[in-house]
Amino acid sequence: MNDIPALVRFRAFAHLEEAEFAALLPLVSEPKSYKMNAVLQREGDRSSAVYLLLQGWTASSMTVPDGQRQLLKVHMPGDLIGLPGLPVTAVPDTVYALTDIVACRIKLDELGRLFAGQPRLAALLFLISQEERLMLMDRLASIGRLSVAGRLAVMILQLHARMTRHDPEIRDTLRWPLTQADFADLIGATTVHTNRTIMQLRQDGILRWDRNEAEILDRAALRRIAGLPERKTAPNQSWLPPSI
């Protein structure tokens, strides 16, 4: 036991003690299924909830006045959903299911209990949030300063790193429930131009790309196009409070 896949984000930073593992169990209780395209929260909603995704993928998006949308993040199992809505009165992003999913709604009281009773877990949760922030920073820099090819490269490498953490078996072949239009919304481009860019990367032998699947054929070239360095997760853990 002591191996719930959805705790992968916590495990990325530290081994979990038995007691901590037990303390996290309430987070994965009462799992609920949602159909593909189900909406977990809608931007502007008053009631904000937090979810832990157990199975499947979801996406978080913001809509601008002319109807275009920006995908802020795709979530995969183990990711927490809804945290950025905590400090504000209205839900900032729309979250919907990219596949059929299983998720747990987390009562905010549970979150409070975690901070009160499990300081080391709270610190890990804090680290997870900083990691989210860093991923947004990388994407901000890529969208602000790179060509569409560069943005796409950053996005693919980021997804690759995250998917590898979930499944170490993955090497260079990635399966995802994302269309080219989704990628366009992730990198702030149009579907047409995203498609042309993908075609170019295919012709250059850098990617293989089939519906819902891609293979990184030339990782070095993709890194070069991305321009940003690889982020190696491995915090200085010495400051973490002792486990309870």
Partner DNA sequence: CGACTTCTTGAGGAGACTCAAGGGTGGTGG
Partner DNA sequence: CCACCACCCTTGAGTCTCCTCAAGAAGTCG
Site of interaction with DNA (CB under 7 A): 147-149, 179-181, 188-199, 209, 211-212
Which of 108, 170, 192, 199 is close enough to bind a second copy by CB under 8 A? 108
Could you tell me the CA-to-CA distances from 56 to 1, 96, 120 in Å, in that order? Answer: 22, 11, 28
> Is residue 178 at the binding interface for a second copy, with CB under 8 A as the rule?
no
192 binds, among a second copy, DNA, none (CB under 5 to 8 A by kind): DNA
- Give min distance, CB of 163 to a second copy, in A: 18
At position 99, the amino acid (one-letter code) is T
b vs e for 199-229, b when ≥16 Cβ sit within 10 Å of the residue's Cβ?
A: eebeeeebbebeeeebebeeeebbbebbebe
Q: Say whether 91 sits in a helix, a strand or coil.
A: coil
> Is residue 120 at the binding interface for a second copy, with CB under 8 A as the rule?
yes
Token pair for residue 71?
Answer: 């995908």
Separation of alpha carbons 70 and 45, rounded Å: 18
- With contact defined as beta carbons under 8 Å apart, do 20 and 140 qualify? no
- Pick 33 or 233: Cβ nearer a second copy: 233
Separation of alpha carbons 27 and 175, rounded Å: 27
136 binds, among DNA, a second copy, none (CB under 5 to 8 A by kind): a second copy
Site track 14-43 with a second copy (rule: CB under 8 A), x = hit: -----------------------------x
- With contact defined as beta carbons under 8 Å apart, do 196 and 185 qualify? no
- Pick 5 or 112: Cβ nearer a second copy: 112
103 binds, among a second copy, DNA, none (CB under 5 to 8 A by kind): none
In angstroms, how far is CA 67 from the centroid of its own chain? 24
- Give min distance, CB of 132 to DNA, in A: 25
- Pick 126 or 205: Cβ nearer a second copy: 126
Q: Where are the beta strands (DSSP E) in 177-232?
A: 207-210, 213-216
- Give min distance, CB of 57 to DNA, in A: 13
Count how many residues are written for the chain.
244
Q: Which parts of this chain interact with a second copy (CB under 8 A)?
A: 13, 43-44, 48, 62, 64-65, 68-70, 72, 83-90, 92-93, 107-109, 111-113, 115-116, 119-120, 122-123, 125-134, 136-141, 143-146, 150, 187-188, 227-229, 231-236, 238-242
